[in-house]
Amino acid sequence: MFEIIKRIFSRSSMEDNLSVRFIALDEGLGVSGYYIVYEDGEPYAGPYKREGDAQGQLTRMRKSYTPAARRV
């Protein structure tokens, strides 16, 4: 019930604009994997080994289950 009321009266949240992408990083700059990214491609959280793990974390963030535990 609270989630429905929250969605009715809330504006677009930051989590609504996030997506999951595979980013291959070269030259030792970081770890390749699936990242939760902003619209412009900047990593927000990750890396995750599997796409499903990243999608699950994004779902938990959108439903306010837990904050992102693996921010970059």
pLDDT band at 55 (very low <50, low <70, confident <90, very high): very high
Decide if 5 is inside a domain: no
Share of the chain above pLDDT 70, in %: 75
Decide if 33 is inside a domain: yes
Decide if 68 is inside a domain: no
Helices (H) and strands (E) in the chain, counts: 2, 3
Decide if 71 is inside a domain: no
- The C-alpha atoms of residue 31 and residue 38 are separated, in whole angstroms, by 18
Number of domains forming the structure of the chain? 1
Task: Please tell me the pTM assigned to this model.
Answer: 0.70
Decide if 43 is inside a domain: yes
Q: Residue 39 belongs to what domain range?
A: 13-62
Which tokens in the block code for residue 72? 């970059």
